[in-house]
Amino acid sequence: MRIIMLGAPGAGKGTQAKKIAEKYLVPHISTGDILRSNIKNSTELGLEAKQYMDKGQLVPDSLVVSLVVDRFKEADCKNGYVLDGFPRTIPQAEALDTALNAISEKVDYAINVEVPDENIVKRMSGRRACLGCGATYHIQHIPPKTEGICDTCGNELILRADDAPETVLNRLKVYHDQTQPLIEYYSAKNILKEVDGVQDMKDVFNDIVTILEA
């Protein structure tokens, strides 16, 4: 089962990708998490990516594509994976298709989690993220047991640098310009599935399960 999660920043791609990964026992591959972990460890990639991410811009395709293509050749991906935050541009989608074609594989579903822009800014200011394990919380919808501390690994929770309202607006603009065209791209391949991301998280997940088990 090879799944791509599409949707605006804050639509709930990460939230749903984690649940899919748990239920279907496939790895959750988030380019955002991989990049943030590189920033935390001050790697060369992290230092370069940070300049773009803090402004809400996309990291250049050349840096991101090889990250993902190397990752899905690892052994734990043999039964599939959930890609979260990749592809994010048409060139990335084409690079993914080329890499998959070369090993006679293809994407099975592109799931678009739809949330209108006006809901997004509100959600992002309440999000708290763990840089230790990638877990995501929301101060109202899914608060951690102890304020500011990750339930899973005990690390401190942060407000992501790119979740400041003005940066979120820029990320939304970048999304509409560069990522939204992927909806048409995957629709043309007949693998696009749409879910209403404004619903409660568990209802969004139920809709996804219905699609995957149809």
Least separation in angstroms between CB 14 and Mg ion? 3
CA distance to 52, 113, 197, per residue, from 170 (Å): 12, 19, 21
- Rounded CA-CA distance 44/47 in Å is 5
114 Cβ contact partners less than 8 Å away, ≥ 6 residues apart: 7, 11, 194, 195, 196, 197, 198
Question: Measured from the CB atom, is 80 or 160 closer to ligand AP5?
Answer: 160
Q: Which listed residue (2, 13, 28, 193) binds ligand AP5 by CB under 6 A? A: 13
Task: List, edge to edge, every strand of the sheet that includes 157-158.
Answer: 136-138, 127-130, 157-158
Choose among Mg ion, ligand AP5, none what residue 159 binds, the Cβ cut-off being 5 to 8 Å by kind. none
Peptide bond into 87 cis (omega under 30): yes
Among 10, 20, 45, 81, binds ligand AP5 (CB under 6 A): 10
Asked if 142 is part of the footprint of ligand AP5 (rule: CB under 6 A), the reply reads yes
Quick note: the x/- pattern for Mg ion over 13-32, rule CB under 5 A, is -x------------------
Return d(Cα 200, Cα 80) in angstroms, integer: 27
Q: Which of 19, 36, 123, 171 is catalytic?
A: 171
Task: Determine the Cα–Cα distance for residues 68 and 93; give it in Å rounded to an integer.
Answer: 11
Please pick, from the candidates 2, 3, 4, 7, the single residue that binds ligand AP5 as defined by CB under 6 A: 7
- Give contact residues for Mg ion (rule: CB under 5 A): 14
The footprint of ligand AP5 (CB under 6 A) covers: 7, 9-15, 31-32, 35, 52-53, 56-59, 64, 85-86, 88, 92, 123, 126-127, 136, 138, 141-142, 162, 171, 197, 199-201, 204
Q: Among all residues, which ones are annotated catalytic?
A: 13, 88, 127, 160, 171
